[in-house]
Structure 1
Amino acid sequence: MTTESTPLHSNGESEDAAYSLLYLDTIDEIQENWKWILTVGILNLFTGLACLICPWLATQVSELMLVGVIFFSGVLNATAVCFRNSESLSTVYRNHIFLLGIGQIVLAVIMFNHPNTTLTILTLMVAIIFMGIGSLQMAATREQHNLAARGLLFLSGGLTILLSVGILIFMPISRWITIGVLIGTNLINLGSTRIILAFYGRSLSKDDRATNEQWRYYMEANLS
């Protein structure tokens, strides 16, 4: 007798049952908190649009946030050794943490005092990362002949490399907009995804909830 296949069917295996329970818990969280998810998604979307409209401002804000994170991380590392129990850390390890903190503070001060150089270095890092990702994608399509969507992956890798080359060609102008555009694009994608999830959670009815509860009891019985 063939058992009907469903997304939530465990087939008597504990791993599948645990995965199904996790799936049901996720659906319940989305249904219960869809208003918060929608609110955060809308904020992400509008923030991303603002970043795309003013990418130079978003780039500068991102740079200041990065400098702030490095600075306060350095302060915490430099001061943490003073409040830790001396017996729990060796002298060498304490000195390493302290010097790391001092180095982070110095680096943050240098980055703050040389914003143009900092943006140039960060933009070059982005271009190098993009070039590496694109090269890996194109190399994977050449070695994995049975790879699904091989042509699309090759095209994506080529476009990523072209993007990195464009960033390098349009330096120093690109240093003022690259990071802001990337942040804006990611925020729009994140916001759109959350909005879609929120409307999905809102569309779930009480009957769907009751069905999910029945599946949960069934899966918990399989795990016991």
Structure 2
Amino acid sequence: MSQAAPNMDDIKAKVQDNWIWFLILGIVLVLGGMVLIAAPLASSVAVTLLIAAVFFVGGLVQIYHAFKTQGWSGFLWNLITGIIAVIGGIVIYVNPLAGTFALTLVIAAIFIAQGVSQLLLAFKIKPHDGWVWVAIAGAVSLVAGILIWIDLPGSAVWALGLIAGISVLMNGWSYIAIALAARASKKA
């Protein structure tokens, strides 16, 4: 028997009843984000090592999966992809600074590609409200990608940690905002 999805009133009540825990989570995330931003090299290496562990474990599971489904047409593809992921995880773990450099290069390329695509989209939707915000977001992504790319290999020292820190910090602020809004609406 399936449970019905909770409605918005149920979700709102749950958040209002637990607003203090949302606030605590938000504060912890803000503090964690500040630590990541304050120590960008350590954060970058930590992110790289986490990715190495995910590649390694994921690769092992994919190899196991390949052998469990050996009759399937994707056996060889699963096996090769799993082996590459395991090897990649080991290589990154053994030399995390090289892994950090490679990941920073990928992030710069993603930012550049995202910036270009957002700018193209912005000019395609130009007569509509909000197109300027899409263009601004595209320009920021493009500039960030170019700056990271131009600063390589130096940006490998700070880029991943800074991006991870900003992400955690912003998540924290969002939980704080939810908590304070829930608290205010509970009092009303």
Calculate the TM-score normalised by the size of structure 2. Answer: 0.85
Shift of 1:104: 1.7
Per the alignment, residue 15 of structure 2 pairs with 30
User: Which string of whole-angstrom CA distances, capped at 9 and with x for unpartnered residues, describes residues 133-159 of structure 1?
Assistant: 211222122222222133333233223
Following the alignment from structure 1 to structure 2, what is the Cα–Cα distance between the partners of residues 99 and 156? 38
The answer as to 2:160 corresponding to 1:179 is yes
Residues 92 and 99 in structure 2, CA contact (< 8 A), matched pair in contact too: yes
- The one-letter amino acid paired with 2:62 is N
Q: CA shift at 1:167, angstroms?
A: 0.7
Within the candidate set 37, 40, 53, 1:68 is matched to 53
What is the distance in 1 between the residues matched to 2:65 and 2:120? Answer: 45
What is residue 192 of structure 1 aligned with on the other side? 173
The amino acid of 1:197's aligned partner reads: I
Give, in angstroms, the shift of residue 93 of structure 1.
4.1
Structure 1 Cα separation of the partners of residues 45 and 171 of structure 2: 21
> 1:117 and 2:98 equivalent?
yes
CA distance in 2, matches of 1:161, 1:101: 33
Q: Structure 2: 5+ residue runs without aligned partners?
A: none
Q: Which residue of 1 aligns with 2:88?
A: 107
Instruction: Provide the identity percentage.
Output: 21
Corresponding position: 1:133 with 2:114: yes
Counterpart CA distance in 1 for 2:72 and 2:125 is 51
Q: Deviations over 1:59-116 (max 9, x none)?
A: 000000000011111222233466x5xxx76255445434433222112112223333
Distance 2:133 2:64 in 1: 51
Gaps of 5+ in 1: 1-17, 209-224
Q: Distance in 2 between matches of 1:67 and 1:95?
A: 23
Shift of 1:55: 0.7
* Residue type of the alignment partner of 2:178: L
Q: Which residue of 1 aligns with 2:28?
A: 43
Does residue 1:144 correspond to 2:144, yes or no? no
Mapping 1:51-90, distance limit 5 Å? 51-80=36-65, 84=68, 90=71
Largest Rg, 1 or 2: 1
**With structure 1 as the length reference, what TM-score do the two structures score?**
0.73
